[in-house]
Structure 1
Amino acid sequence: MGAQQVRDVLGVRDGFAELYGAGPEGVWSAPGRVNLIGEHTDYNDGFVMPFALPHTTVAAVSRRTDGRLRLHSADVEGPAVELGLEGLAPGTDRTWTAYPAGVVWALREAGHPVTGADIHLASAVPAGAGLSSSAALEVVIALALDDLYELGLQRWQLARLCQRAENVYVGAPTGIMDQTASACCAEGHALFLDTRDLSQRQIPFDLAAEGLRLLVVDTRVQHAHSGGEYGRRRAGCEKGAALLGLDALRDVPQGGLDAALAELGDEEEVRRLVRHVVTEDARVERVVALLESGDTRAIGPVLTEGHASLRDDFRVSCPELDLVVDTALTAGALGARMTGGGFGGSAIVLAEAADTDTITKAVEAAFAAAGLTAPRVFEAVPGAGARRIG
């Protein structure tokens, strides 16, 4: 266990004991994620390629037998929130507690005998930055309760339950990628995931060995998946599939995009959404092929193509994300794009290791010149998925 993990375990153990009067039964962690390529494809049964960040949400947890759930976060001021399990219902909570409570609700709805818990949390995953802080929170709770109650669930099953919690209990129409990434990613790898059947392949992704770096630039522009714009994009994709007589946009053949767009006629907004999803699925497969052939630098232009598609067709970028991408490319980046659901959050930048300082300074200077809040820039190194750490 690394020094940071030791601090995480000790911190949440001490916080738990101070709150609840005794130590927890265990400590678990679940990471945020960066999506390398494959944006807004997961709810279209398509392909995605995330990897786990070293930034994690940590939970100290003990069971209860009285039907009560007590929740506390070191990152939120105030006392522990106490809830009755019988009263958990979708739409009843619009605060941070909806995410862990929603997981408990989803487990119980699926017939799993969860009778209560005391939970204390701390997170290093930046909220609202497009790095899946909500999925990390959901997955760490699901894994802890799976272990403590000996439910015997597979990681993909935990991800599905967490997605249900976010879709139904929280009311955010997200796909399955974020929860699967947090639950299933492996250190030093990117996860090639088929979101239709949840088949997955771990693709080695060691940029440092090739003299490369991947920077995450958090614009500090907050986004929220439960907002209406994300839901409208998803509804538009579903409309496109229905008009084409398909189960999902995944089923548009790569060679049949032009015919599909013609069939959609004057449905211009739907045409744009369909074009993004179909071409983005193809970009994921291209990146996988390039990484497996050892041509890692060649993925840069593919990332940049993905940003243009998200900006122009899916229209989920924002001026701050575009500024990061344009500035980084001008400063010598191999590729760059927004990552996550959009409307703010973060961008990723692929660069030669020797160029990262120059690119970082250029982005910071561009934000300063535009009168924007300074971005947060850090290197993304593929970390481990969710696990018990104490």
Structure 2
Amino acid sequence: MSATAARALFESAFGRPSEALFSAPGRANLIGEHTDYNDGYVLPFAIPSRTFAAVGVRPDERIRVTSTFSPEPVEVALSELADLFPSEGTPRVPEWAAYPLGVAWALRERFPDAVTPGLDIAFASEVPVGAGLSSSAAIEGAAASAMNALWALGADATTLALAGRRAENEAVGAPTGIMDQMAVMHGHPDAATFLDCRTLEVAAIPVGFVDADLELLVIDTRTTHAHSTGGYRERRASCELGAAEMGVPALRDLTVADLARAEERFDDVTFRRVRHIVTENQRVLDTVATLRSAGPTAIGDLLVASHVSMRDDFEISTIELDTAVESALAAGALGARMTGGGFGGAAVALVRVADAEAVEAAVRATFAERGFREPNVFAIWPADGAHRDA
């Protein structure tokens, strides 16, 4: 269990028992991909897999972090945190450590008058890395929750989410939006988080999976991705270009009715990037409305349409992700789509509990037939957000 592992690592690394334990979940996105940094709408939820942080206060003004992923502690003076993250170039610490240390830097900047004693923190995680389930936001959420309590900051969940995003954007250098951090901080059991990424207004939308005997299967293709380089940056640049050329602050300000005008103005690639964002925003709104009016069994076609748009218009899927979606649907899934930033990672499939084993078996068989790496398949459901455990 990762809670036990975090406490044990703390004691072995720092030579004393930890004082408190905090955790934060990974997240899955039901629908709304790449809309967050376009000021749009998203519908993620926190998942049961969590990252745990065992913490203790130090008598000085230094911070040490260690992780089961890389147990060699990283230590720095709190006053020198900003020096770790140059505006150009890579962080001066291992990437995993840049997430919690970036959160510490962001919170000290946000609360400059707070008393911030030194901390020791040991992390252990159940969230798969590289699967599109936001292992990074989980470590940010656990770190932020611990710092908020031990530094007596009194910050609300949204403020902590913003600190996590600043860490990801400016400390790590990944140009992600706010969705992951908000989902991690605002999670509720059996509910998705409907987020307006412009206003940061959130609403818990009951998904009703339990009453409908449904669950989401994660199909982790075990092909890795890196948000901070390559295709993710290119897609974001295309979106910013599209908004500027259409004379709007963000693509969120366009509707489906604007697409004919956009098609006349753009080259094919830029138009398809814009079309994905505009139609994906509408799909999020339609999914929320459908959950409220007809329940979760009626959203399958919206999930499939989202995947097709990501495959054909945004071009962020892979052959493994397409195979996961197609084989799950063929075996009886109500809907399926890739989730996360793309270029690898995981798909999710909405299935009846009674069909879950058959869908999983069909996906595994298809992957084996095509010579792909064996996928990691497991069920998830909406869970609690970040909190103190002990």
Matches of 2:306 and 2:336, distance apart in 1: 9
Matched with 1:248 is: 250
Matched with 1:159 is: 161
Matches of 2:300 and 2:165, distance apart in 1: 30
Matched with 2:347 is: 347
After TM superposition, give the deviation of residue 176 of structure 1 in Å.
Answer: 0.1
For residue 93 of structure 1, what is the amino acid of its counterpart? V
Deviates more, 1:128-137 or 1:23-32: 23-32
Matched with 1:127 is: 129
Matched with 1:287 is: 287
Matched with 1:374 is: 374
Matches of 2:295 and 2:4, distance apart in 1: 42
Matches of 1:185 and 1:21, distance apart in 2: 34
Matched with 1:3 is: none
Asked whether the equivalents of residues 165 and 177 of structure 2 are also in contact (C-alpha less than 8 Å), the reply is yes
For residue 26 of structure 2, what is the amino acid of its counterpart? G
Deviates more, 1:41-50 or 1:291-300: 291-300
Give the aligned CA root-mean-square deviation in angstroms.
1.4
Asked whether the equivalents of residues 216 and 377 of structure 1 are also in contact (C-alpha less than 8 Å), the reply is yes
Matched with 2:96 is: 96
After TM superposition, give the deviation of residue 8 of structure 1 in Å.
Answer: 4.3
After TM superposition, give the deviation of residue 117 of structure 1 in Å.
Answer: 1.1
Matches of 1:362 and 1:82, distance apart in 2: 47
Matched with 1:28 is: 22
Deviations 1:162-190 (A, max 9, x none): 10110011000000000000011111111
Matches of 1:195 and 1:98, distance apart in 2: 24
Matched with 1:179 is: 181
Instruction: Indicate which of 64, 69, 72 corresponds to 2:63.
Output: 69
Matched with 1:270 is: 270
What is the DSSP-based 3-state SS (H/G/I as helix, E as strand, rest coil) of the residue aligned with 1:371? coil
Matched with 1:80 is: 73
Matched with 1:4 is: none
After TM superposition, give the deviation of residue 208 of structure 1 in Å.
Answer: 2.9
Deviates more, 1:9-18 or 1:370-379: 9-18
After TM superposition, give the deviation of residue 94 of structure 1 in Å.
Answer: 4.3
Matches of 2:328 and 2:10, distance apart in 1: 43
What is the DSSP-based 3-state SS (H/G/I as helix, E as strand, rest coil) of the residue aligned with 2:258? helix
For residue 11 of structure 2, what is the amino acid of its counterpart? A
For residue 24 of structure 2, what is the amino acid of its counterpart? A
Matches of 1:174 and 1:67, distance apart in 2: 30
What is the DSSP-based 3-state SS (H/G/I as helix, E as strand, rest coil) of the residue aligned with 2:232? helix
Matches of 2:80 and 2:370, distance apart in 1: 48
Deviations 1:336-368 (A, max 9, x none): 100000000000111222222211111101111
Matches of 1:11 and 1:242, distance apart in 2: 49
Asked whether the equivalents of residues 94 and 170 of structure 1 are also in contact (C-alpha less than 8 Å), the reply is no
Deviations 1:76-110 (A, max 9, x none): 2x432212223323132342111111111111222
Matches of 1:255 and 1:64, distance apart in 2: 58
- Structure 1: where are the runs of 5+ without partners? 1-6
Deviations 1:148-171 (A, max 9, x none): 111111111111111011001100
Matches of 1:21 and 1:96, distance apart in 2: 22
Matched with 1:306 is: 306
Deviations 1:274-321 (A, max 9, x none): 100000000001110111113321200100000000000101000100
For residue 359 of structure 2, what is the amino acid of its counterpart? I
What is the DSSP-based 3-state SS (H/G/I as helix, E as strand, rest coil) of the residue aligned with 1:317? coil
Matches of 1:143 and 1:198, distance apart in 2: 19
What is the DSSP-based 3-state SS (H/G/I as helix, E as strand, rest coil) of the residue aligned with 1:79? strand
Instruction: Indicate which of 46, 50, 57 corresponds to 1:52.
Output: 46
Asked whether the equivalents of residues 208 and 296 of structure 2 are also in contact (C-alpha less than 8 Å), the reply is no
Matched with 1:109 is: 109
Q: TM-score, normalised by structure 2?
A: 0.94
After TM superposition, give the deviation of residue 65 of structure 1 in Å.
Answer: 4.5
For residue 221 of structure 1, what is the amino acid of its counterpart? T
Fraction of identical pairs, as percent: 49
Matches of 1:13 and 1:253, distance apart in 2: 50
Matched with 1:43 is: 37
- 2:194 is the counterpart of 1:208: no
Deviates more, 1:131-140 or 1:326-335: 326-335
Asked whether the equivalents of residues 62 and 76 of structure 2 are also in contact (C-alpha less than 8 Å), the reply is yes
Q: TM-score, normalised by structure 1?
A: 0.94
For residue 282 of structure 1, what is the amino acid of its counterpart? Q
Deviations 1:248-281 (A, max 9, x none): 000003322222332x23x222211110000000
